């Protein structure tokens, strides 16, 4: 037997073994036993993908099987979704059509495969408008059959698990897209375990060094946390056993990504993150015992033993989150002097938390409240889709506002509960009630007290909206609202008002030329645009309609308006740029074209790089030693972004084909700015000691601000450094100053 034949036999055995594992997973579920149709889908996919291989070199069929296993075992879906997962790439990559799938497997499986095919060419295409269009398709298929997006998330999860075979620039694109879109979607659909893993894998591929450092520290300190947990759990276990509860108790550590996120948000090192683990108590669903009552029974047991922190109770049992999550959270002071968070939930609640809405089908008896919450969210998405923002990236941002939001619950004057995103304002609430109420809103009463439209609401507030027929939406309202629903409705209303105003202005212009021999030709309009410095005909008519522009008393004067040279002047350049639909960051009479950049190459940033193609935007201010990537602009300029940059996240997600891998070369001359925060116990001479340390290191200070309050000081210092080593050395020297408690770098 040749080596090639032996390899084929081994691969066939591996494929068979994986498929058998899928069937075993399926048979462990409560779904109906439809093994025949799953086998049929597997055989068709195996034949269709015969000879095809993944970038890693393994047979392509291993990918659909892996996706089907995630769909079955980790999301909990049945045979229809498993078949769709096995067939999800068949229509796109082979000769089979959706009609073939329909003929062989029926309408429902074909419909899901068709939905997956529409979005499987990559969430995002070559240009921004195509990306938004693909995302819109994805959301439309969600509202049609939620299983489409669940299978798509499973597909993305397996791709993330096998991302190592991709080139670095491709890894950045896929990881950025995952963090920007797929993780929030998984979170919103209640797939907590998958959302956490997607974030973790994205972070791991983009920041291998930081990931490995935090993971190492977690391993090193695990024993200490295990001791804290055991001291806490022992008396709780004894009491619950005495009462005869059927339950499971365990400690669950935060993910590396969530720890890093907290370190960044608070500007503290790993050693100052104290809530690394939480205790989870999961009790079994027993016949005749109310879940809600059992949660509070366990709460009572814990608070009889340990002192409660009253401001940290979260009752998600009485009022579930809109992604279906239910649990009772509390925080108590443990026996070792540490605050410990406890999450109490039933086995059903735990399934819902880990597997999202798919888990409801396991427990479903008629239509339950959480499904209604999902329907409400999908309805909100539909409303946004009906009047999307004309700017594609704004559209993505608008949708994202609704993906990763925590909820608050507020009441109408009649006591009706409304769910809003955390941070929602009175104006958001007005638009949540109805677009007409929002459009005419002039103020609100929160708990019977008059407040402005910008007032942020809290859970439990009772809100009454005040309206006036004379009130109309204003563009500044876009800076007040925080929910996607309100933003979309305001933008729609502003566009409608603008069209009406433009129509009025056009009528005023036409009326002014009545009885003359003047005709409003394109040439006349161009002269008026130049003279009044407007970029479009609609803007010109709007300005006339709202009396911003007063037409000359003798209308014949518009024939003599001086037409500017279209090649000169800032305004003409902007008009020209807007006319072709391009955004311009530089207002200049010429655009520099740089040498072409190849996205497949890795570029080294040397001393003279920033005199050539490469530019440093102000959003993240990376310095030599930071992990960075490049974004290729239209003129081949390359923006250098930190791997953690929030602007960079969006670029990776939406312009993956323009991402290029960068590495720092030797860099000693050109200084970079970086910010650090310092805090500690205030004393005489503290400021002087800090400045001495900075100047002793031959570094220059750009700015410095320090505030003291009740003997404690906090400062922010912006310094010029050459690289990360300069910054780390500075931080360690400042940390040695008497009274200084913490020094940390801050991303600008």
Catalytic residue annotation: 92-93
DSSP string, 75-142: S---HHHHHHHHTTTHHHHSS--HHHHHHHH-HHHHHHHHHHHHHTT-SS-SSHHHHHHHHHHHHHHH
- H helix or E strand, kind and range, residue 279: strand 277-283
Q: How far apart are CA 632 and CA 598, in angstroms?
A: 9
DSSP string, 474-517: -GGGGGT--SHHHHHHHHHHHHHHHHHHHHHHHHHHHHHTTTSS
Whether the CB-CB separation of 138 and 152 falls below 8 Å is answered with yes
How many contiguous H segments (helices) and E segments (strands) does the chain have? 29, 20
Q: How far apart are CA 410 and CA 412, in angstroms?
A: 7
Whether the CB-CB separation of 409 and 491 falls below 8 Å is answered with no
Q: Give the rounded distance of the alpha carbon of 547 from its chain centre.
A: 42
Whether the CB-CB separation of 329 and 312 falls below 8 Å is answered with yes
Q: How far apart are CA 200 and CA 212, in angstroms?
A: 12
DSSP string, 195-250: HHHHHHHHHHHH-HHHHHHHHHHHHHTHHHHHHHHHHHHHHHHHHHHHTT--EEEE
Q: Is 397 exposed, middle or buried (0-12, 13-18, 19+ CB in 10 A)?
A: middle
Bridge partners of 339, per DSSP, are 333
Q: Is 584 exposed, middle or buried (0-12, 13-18, 19+ CB in 10 A)?
A: middle
| Closest residue by Cα to residue 730 from 738, 739, 718, 714 | 718
Radius of gyration (C-alpha) of the chain in whole angstroms: 30
């Amino acid at each position: 037997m040749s080596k090639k034949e032996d390899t084929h036999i081994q691969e066939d055995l591996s494929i068979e073994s994986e498929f058998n594992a899928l069937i075993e997973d399926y048979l462990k579920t409560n779904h109906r036993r439809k093994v025949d149709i799953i086998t049929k889908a597997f055989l068709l996919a195996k034949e269709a993908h015969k000879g095809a291989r993944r970038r890693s070199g393994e047979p392509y069929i291993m990918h659909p099987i892996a996706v089907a296993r995630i769909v079955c075992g980790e999301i909990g879906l049945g045979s229809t979704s498993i078949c769709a997962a096995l067939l999800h790439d068949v229509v796109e990559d082979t000769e089979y059509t959706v009609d073939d799938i329909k003929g062989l497997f029926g309408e429902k499986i074909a419909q899901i495969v068709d939905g997956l095919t529409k979005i499987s060419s990559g969430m995002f295409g070559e240009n921004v408008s195509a990306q938004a269009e693909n995302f819109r398709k994805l959301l439309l298929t969600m509202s049609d059959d939620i299983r489409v997006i669940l299978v798509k998330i499973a597909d993305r999860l397996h791709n993330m698990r096998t991302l190592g075979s991709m080139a670095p620039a491709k890894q950045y694109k896929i990881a950025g897209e995952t963090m920007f879109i797929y993780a929030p979607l998984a979170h919103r659909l209640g797939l907590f375990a998958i959302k956490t893993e997607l974030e973790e894998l994205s972070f791991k591929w983009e920041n291998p060094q930081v990931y490995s450092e935090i993971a190492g520290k977690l391993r090193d300190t695990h024993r200490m946390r295990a001791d804290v947990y055991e001291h806490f759990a022992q008396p709780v276990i004894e009491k619950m056993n005495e009462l005869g509860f059927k339950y499971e108790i365990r400690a669950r550590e935060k993910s590396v990504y969530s720890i890093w996120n907290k370190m960044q948000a608070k500007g503290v090192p790993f050693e100052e993150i104290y809530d690394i683990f939480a205790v989870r108590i999961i009790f079994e669903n027993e016949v005749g015992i109310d879940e809600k009552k059992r949660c509070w029974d366990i709460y009572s047991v814990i608070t009889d033993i340990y002192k409660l922190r009253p401001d940290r109770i979260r009752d998600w049992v009485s009022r579930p989150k809109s992604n279906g999550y239910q649990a009772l959270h509390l925080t108590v002071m443990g026996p070792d002097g540490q605050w410990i968070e406890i999450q109490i939930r039933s086995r059903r609640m735990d399934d819902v938390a880990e597997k999202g809405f798919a888990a409801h089908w396991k427990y479903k008896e008629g239509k339950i409240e959480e499904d209604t919450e999902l329907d409400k969210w999908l309805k909100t998405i539909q409303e946004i889709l009906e009047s999307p923002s004309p700017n594609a990236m704004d559209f993505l941002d608008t949708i994202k506002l609704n993906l990763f939001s925590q909820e608050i619950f507020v009441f109408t004057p009649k006591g009706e509960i409304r769910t809003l995103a955390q941070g929602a304002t009175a104006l958001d609430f007005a638009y949540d009630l109805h677009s007409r109420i929002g459009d005419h809103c002039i103020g609100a009463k929160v708990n019977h007290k008059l407040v402005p439209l910008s007032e942020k609401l809290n859970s439990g507030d009772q809100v009454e909206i005040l309206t006036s027929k004379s009130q109309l939406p204003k563009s500044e309202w876009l800076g007040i609202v925080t929910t996607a629903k309100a933003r979309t409705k305001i933008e729609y209303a502003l566009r409608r008002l603008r069209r009406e105003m433009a129509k009025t202005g056009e009528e005023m212009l036409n009326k002014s030329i009545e009885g003359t021999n003047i005709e409003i030709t394109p040439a006349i309009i161009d002269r008026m645009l130049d003279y009044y410095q407007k970029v479009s005909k609609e803007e010109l008519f709007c300005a006339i309609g709202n009396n911003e522009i007063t037409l000359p008393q003798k209308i014949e004067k518009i024939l003599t308006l001086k037409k500017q040279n279209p090649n000169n002047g800032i305004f003409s350049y902007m008009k020209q740029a807007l006319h072709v639909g391009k955004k311009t960051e530089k207002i200049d009479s010429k655009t520099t074209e740089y040498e072409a950049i190849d996205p497949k190459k890795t570029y080294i940033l040397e001393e003279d790089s920033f005199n050539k193609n490469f530019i440093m935007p102000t959003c993240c201010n990376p310095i030599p030693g930071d992990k960075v990537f490049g974004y290729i602009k239209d003129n081949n300029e390359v923006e250098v972004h930190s791997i953690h940059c929030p602007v960079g996240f969006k670029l990776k997600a939406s312009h993956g084909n323009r991402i290029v891998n960068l590495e720092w070369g030797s860099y000693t001359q050109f200084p970079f700015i970086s910010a650090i925060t310092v805090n500690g116990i205030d004393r005489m001479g503290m400021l002087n000691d800090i400045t001495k340390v900075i100047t002793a290191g031959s570094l220059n200070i750009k700015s410095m601000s320090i505030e003291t309050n009740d003997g404690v000081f906090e400062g922010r210092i912006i310094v010029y450094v050459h690289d990360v080593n300069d910054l780390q050395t500075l931080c360690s020297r400042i940390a040695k100053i008497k009274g200084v408690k913490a020094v940390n770098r801050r991303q600008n």
